[in-house]
Structure 1
């Protein structure tokens, strides 16, 4: 099957061809005809399966057949959990809509709002936004959502994880009840199904991959190592195997900063990306990594979804995530769109329970390795995991207050303020 078989207009097919795409992915084959029909959609697919084009292409076609947006009004609204994902969806809208006369803009926190306000004044056919900043601008009277024809909730499960459920419900009260709603999620959790029942009307159900599975083209393995030797082992593996583009995950922002600094001192160019970094710093780091100028990008789980890096060869879990599902999302950054990828986890004695939980979730026993020279101490005893579920009871009271501009990119499990 070709894209031309899906009912897309010539202008969109030309844009798709320019990007070098010939055959639609499974999610695109199933989703595009449904969206073109105007039906609501509840779709689950692994990251890297092409779901963004699955809703962007038919949305552009439907909007191009209607009247342009009036001042301050929005015709299609795409909500995303993070700034990075918003930027990438916005880039897809621009790329695929390059031959259409549609206005689009991206809105998220962490940057000045005046350019966003100016864009909203003119009216937008497509607005891609994170919930926090959009609500702020709506409350200031800068945006009118009463004319939204198409609403997309992208990475809806991630938005729930990050505590955006109350913001989403407030925004849904501002859009017309008669609209087309598309909900995309990596999993069909009970919470997602409840959300769909509340806000979707007789949706078409699409599930491309079984729940919580990992991509077949990702080679997964574990290196057992003492916690104090993880950094040396990571540097050793990068140099020995000549890994030129590595995405490394840590649990904490401080840990990401420290690891990036230590790798850089060992002549391995590295930068960190997380919620405390300014949007400019995050954009520069991601740009350098994508272009190949930066060898290692160290990230917290804010980057586990939405980072679209073509043919990323290596993902390393420097520390295992506290939530097993996040392992699936982390390693889903590699092995995308048919490419092969490698996911390696450095596991110390503290993380044996976390590893068993991951293996139960993905229904696989991951191969274990011990690198010569980095043999773990067989007598080592587990220590409490920093920022993990085994924190002391008073750990929450010791946390520093979060800065206002982190609202749209806070760590998972944050609860939105009422």
Structure 2
């Protein structure tokens, strides 16, 4: 017997239920359980739920159900654009398109969807819009441009409007575009506003587009519970200690599985990537300077397990939404950055085991959205935050906001003693000396040039030959200098004594290929944990006295 909260009890079309079952969704999440029945009743919704809670499906399922019912009506004979999904970023547009297509797996002939948020010429999108897809996904600026160019019409056909990540739409400078869009909409339509926060921007949007909405402010924590998400802080005396600790965590296998490393600036992201290359730790960079097609492809390859580490730049506009300069149409963003880019929000990174804040976030909201990249659905995750002395006041504010009335520390001190990895410091300094300002500049230019070539010149080719996309890797080395081979592996005598109990020397190449799991489920470091444990969560520092007693089978 199905539980009352199951999808089967929501009165959904059988084709939708079949697609949901194929996705492996046993039961709806909290936001889906509350929002879908109200949406099916035709009510406007203002819903707040944390990152990774299933907000996209919460509006996509009732949207598709509505369109299927419309198509079955004998009174409806004309094809028209009946649903519009507005998103703040091109990456989120791709994610929404993918989710809707997955849910339409068994009714794709009856309902069609198109994404016009991509950075392609508008003339290439006009033929798609002339076919009048049932659902259009796009950024406000691109949708408005098509409406003004008469390649899209919504005044007499729009029935459902969705504003996804609504709190970011104003932050990304879309305020004027949204107001102008309203002139092209009919007077009556159903609206969904989905957001992770209830900011002033969301309240302004509520007044603009909603009609007597139902507000869903779910009583759930902003981040998963401690049993699912382990949050640690690591106090570092110097910047050098940050690099040393990251090298030790990755190379000694304390970080397992896929990880996102957040940094504060684009230049710092390339510096960190070049540093990791010195130790043959492949990683790719993700920032606003890269073409949108490259960013989407990087995320796709990361999700499919082609590489394990992404060095992501968390843009300041995400941390400080109040700083929203008015965008002039056609104007380029500062320093060539794409104003519609965002890593901490709106992108679905799959199966992320660890989030490492190499640079601490600038606000509580930014920390929440960074940490929300891991521990999604029912999967466990870990968030590590590196902090130097000048950054401690910022971390204290984040802890205070997250703790609320609780007296327990939210970010537990990670039990890691610097003296345990002092033997690796000379290697760290050697690698840092190789990463000069000139090397960073050359790598930055080389990366952007190659990504532009791949994005523009090969775009049509890759559309016709999608299998060849596998050959395009984004974690390739960028360093122009020769990487010293002795840094590739960590000799056993340099492994800290307290870590030798949970690590083992690497197997030879033949055994590694035969017995180890694929790269999507294991670290790229030199060591791996025994017994399948996650050493990052199970490792506890033991002092000399405790190690001596443990070796004798005694307890202190």
- TM-score normalised to the size of structure 2? 0.64
Deviations 1:101-144, CA, capped at 9 Å, x for gaps? 11111122433434422211111210111122222333322211
Name the residue aligned to 1:158.
Answer: 168
Structure-2 separation of matches of 1:43 and 1:69: 33
Deviation at 1:196, TM superposition (A): 1.2
Name the residue aligned to 2:159.
Answer: 149
Structure-1 separation of matches of 2:261 and 2:180: 36
Structure-2 separation of matches of 1:113 and 1:362: 44
Deviation at 1:69, TM superposition (A): 9.2
Query: Is the Cα–Cα contact under 8 Å of residues 109 and 132 in structure 1 kept in the other structure?
Result: no
- Of the three residues 114, 118, 125, the one matched with 2:127 is 118
Report how many residues are paired: 375
SS at match of 2:82: strand
Name the residue aligned to 2:352.
Answer: 312
Structure-2 separation of matches of 1:136 and 1:270: 37
Deviation at 1:346, TM superposition (A): 0.8
What's the Cα RMSD here?
A: 2.2
Deviation at 1:374, TM superposition (A): 7.0
Name the residue aligned to 2:311.
Answer: 298
Moved over 4 A (4+): 67-71
Query: Is the Cα–Cα contact under 8 Å of residues 232 and 384 in structure 2 kept in the other structure?
Result: yes
Query: Is the Cα–Cα contact under 8 Å of residues 46 and 208 in structure 1 kept in the other structure?
Result: no
Query: Is the Cα–Cα contact under 8 Å of residues 214 and 328 in structure 1 kept in the other structure?
Result: yes
Deviations 1:293-323, CA, capped at 9 Å, x for gaps? 2121111231112222333211111111222
- Of the three residues 118, 130, 140, the one matched with 1:131 is 140
Deviations 1:50-84, CA, capped at 9 Å, x for gaps? 1111110110010122257967x521011111111
Name the residue aligned to 2:179.
Answer: 169
Deviation at 1:239, TM superposition (A): 2.2
Deviations 1:317-365, CA, capped at 9 Å, x for gaps? 1111222211101110111112111011111123112212211221254
SS at match of 2:204: helix
Deviations 1:248-307, CA, capped at 9 Å, x for gaps? 111222222322232233211111112110123212321221122212111123111222
The alpha-carbon distance between structure 1 residues 138 and 264, as it changes in their structure 2 partners (threshold 3 A), is farther
SS at match of 1:84: helix
Name the residue aligned to 2:99.
Answer: 92
Structure-1 separation of matches of 2:276 and 2:218: 38
Query: Is the Cα–Cα contact under 8 Å of residues 48 and 195 in structure 2 kept in the other structure?
Result: yes
Deviations 1:198-234, CA, capped at 9 Å, x for gaps? 32111111122457x2221211111111223322321
SS at match of 2:146: helix
- Of the three residues 342, 346, 356, the one matched with 2:382 is 342
Q: Which has the higher helix share?
A: 2
SS at match of 1:74: coil
* Structure of larger gyration radius: 2
Structure-1 separation of matches of 2:272 and 2:68: 47
Query: Is the Cα–Cα contact under 8 Å of residues 299 and 349 in structure 2 kept in the other structure?
Result: no
Structure 2, unaligned runs of 5 or more: 315-341, 404-408, 421-451, 453-556
- Of the three residues 219, 239, 244, the one matched with 2:257 is 244
Query: Is the Cα–Cα contact under 8 Å of residues 29 and 54 in structure 2 kept in the other structure?
Result: yes
Deviations 1:160-212, CA, capped at 9 Å, x for gaps? 2222222222222321120000001101223322321332111111122457x
Structure 1, unaligned runs of 5 or more: 376-404, 406-418
Deviation at 1:158, TM superposition (A): 1.9
- TM-score normalised to the size of structure 1? 0.84
Structure-1 separation of matches of 2:374 and 2:98: 20
